[in-house]
């Protein structure tokens, strides 16, 4: 990782920029630049062929001034401590930005899940849960899905925790299947929120959906539902991508067909999809379009390619896809960025609803979930948009102003223990 692509360094840089602009007290900066708790575990897993493999697992609680830690668990070969620290830090700002009563946390395991059988993945998830059992819980730190994890993993996690406690604890994690305490709408929520923010941005800048072209980098959970919701709002999606490459059609992609294609267990990726031109990931990022929504990984838009980005606005479906240096370049070129801590907050907001429903043991219908989700997203978008206008600053800086201010206020009101 170079200086520019170390996510934790980038997270600290963003905090530094926000604290300087706000004139925030140095003690608060210091407090917030140190994660509250860092746990690293070794996870022994008996593989199908009988040999033992050890995986590294992480859980970081960045801050709990506003409530218990909240944030996903990712499985990827590149997962490392600095990445998890950054992602936990961003969760603190995300929950504060949309005003839900959580602090920030994140977890991960360094593993390429495609190389494991379902049985191996289950044993890995259960042993990881057991190894972090003393730091997670509905009142302390609540995991959820992130990259390469989903309802299945959350089901195993909830079951392992419940077995250890001796009773069912639905609220220990979110993103569970609806049959075991999950919420309707959670699977779609992150992508729905990304498309919602893009649409709100368009409305405020007098842009009409039918006149906009949209590129969505990444056709995983977030990208898929960003595309599907954007299509329902009337936008034309001209390109998307996954690990097999990028797919471009200037006339507009058939999103329903691509969704069906990737959902087919015989495919699982877009490899072999022929109704689009195959291009590279870097070509996709540099396409001429109205909106470019990076919904894949960190560090996709850097100092190197930011000068060649042609979109009018970026909406960050992923966490940390634009580096601070790229941010400066985009801003100087008049390209707006709707930041991750606002744009992809739909997922954690719906997780909040799931946790509330689990604790009440009273479940909402989809209409109620979506209505509440749009209410929170609209309130957050409005707040950030208005502050950005008032201060004549970027959306990211405005979102950080709101988020950091809320966390700083909570620390100040609670005081430092003892």
- Shortest distance (Å) from residue 319 CB to ligand GLU: 5
Q: Is 257 exposed, middle or buried (0-12, 13-18, 19+ CB in 10 A)?
A: exposed
∠ CA 202-7-377, nearest 5°, is: 30
Catalytic residue at 106?
Answer: yes
- What is the maximal distance between C-alpha atoms in the chain? 63
Helical packing angle, 395-414 and 7-22, nearest 10°:
80
What tokens does 356 get?
Answer: 């509330």
User: How would you classify the pairing of strands 103-110 and 52-63?
Assistant: antiparallel
What tokens does 252 get?
Answer: 């507009």
Cis peptide before 195 (omega within 30 of 0): no
- Shortest distance (Å) from residue 183 CB to ligand GLU: 10
Residue at shortest CB range from ligand GLU: 72
Place of tokens 């990737």: 262
What tokens does 266 get?
Answer: 């015989």
| Interacting residues toward ligand GLU by CB under 6 A | 70-72, 144, 146, 174-175, 319, 344, 347-348, 351
Q: Is 201 exposed, middle or buried (0-12, 13-18, 19+ CB in 10 A)?
A: buried
> From CA 294, how far away is CA 276, in angstroms rounded?
19
- Shortest distance (Å) from residue 144 CB to ligand GLU: 3
Active site residue: 106, 176, 236, 312, which one? Answer: 106
- Shortest distance (Å) from residue 344 CB to ligand GLU: 6
The span from the first CA to the last CA of the chain, in angstroms, equals 38
- Shortest distance (Å) from residue 326 CB to ligand GLU: 20
Among all residues, which ones are annotated catalytic? 106
């Amino acid at each position: 990782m170079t200086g520019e692509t170390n996510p934790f360094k980038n997270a600290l840089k963003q905090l530094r920029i926000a604290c300087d602009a706000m004139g925030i007290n140095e003690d608060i900066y210091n407090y917030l630049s140190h994660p509250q708790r860092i746990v690293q575990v070794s996870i022994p897993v008996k593989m199908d062929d009988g040999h033992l493999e050890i995986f590294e697992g992480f859980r970081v609680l960045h801050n709990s001034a506003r409530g218990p830690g909240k944030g996903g668990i990712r499985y990827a070969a590149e997962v490392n401590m600095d990445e998890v620290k950054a992602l936990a830090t961003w969760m603190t700002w995300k929950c504060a930005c949309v005003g839900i009563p959580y602090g920030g946390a994140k977890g991960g395991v360094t593993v390429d899940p495609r190389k494991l059988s379902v049985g191996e993945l289950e044993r890995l998830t259960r042993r990881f849960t057991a190894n972090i059992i003393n730091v997670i819980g509905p009142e302390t730190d609540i995991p959820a899905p992130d990259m390469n994890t989903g309802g299945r993993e959350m089901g195993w996690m909830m079951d392992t925790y419940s077995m250890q406690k001796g009773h069912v604890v639905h609220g220990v994690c979110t993103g569970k299947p609806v049959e075991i305490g999950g919420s309707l709408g959670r699977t779609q929520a992150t992508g729905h929120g990304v498309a919602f923010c893009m649409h709100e941005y368009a409305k405020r800048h007098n842009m009409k959906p039918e006149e906009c072209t949209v590129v969505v980098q990444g056709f995983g959970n977030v990208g898929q539902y960003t595309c599907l919701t954007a299509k329902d709002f009337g936008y034309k999606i001209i390109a998307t991508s996954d690990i097999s490459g990028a797919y471009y059609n200037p006339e507009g992609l058939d999103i329903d067909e691509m969704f069906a294609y990737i959902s087919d267990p015989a495919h699982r990726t877009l490899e072999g999809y022929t109704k689009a031109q195959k291009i590279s990931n870097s070509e996709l990022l540099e396409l001429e379009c109205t909106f470019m929504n990076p919904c894949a990984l960190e560090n996709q838009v850097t100092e190197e390619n930011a000068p060649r980005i042609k979109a009018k606005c970026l909406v960050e479906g992923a966490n940390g896809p634009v580096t601070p240096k790229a941010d400066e370049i985009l801003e100087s070129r008049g390209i707006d960025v709707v930041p991750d801590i606002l744009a992809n907050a739909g997922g954690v907001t719906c997780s909040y609803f799931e946790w509330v429903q689990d604790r009440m043991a009273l479940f909402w219908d989809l209409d109620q979930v979506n209505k509440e989700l749009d209410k929170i997203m609209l309130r957050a978008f409005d707040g950030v948009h208005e502050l950005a206008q008032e201060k004549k600053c970027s959306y990211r800086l405005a979102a950080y102003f709101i988020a950091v201010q809320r966390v700083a206020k909570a620390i100040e009101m609670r005081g430092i223990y003892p």
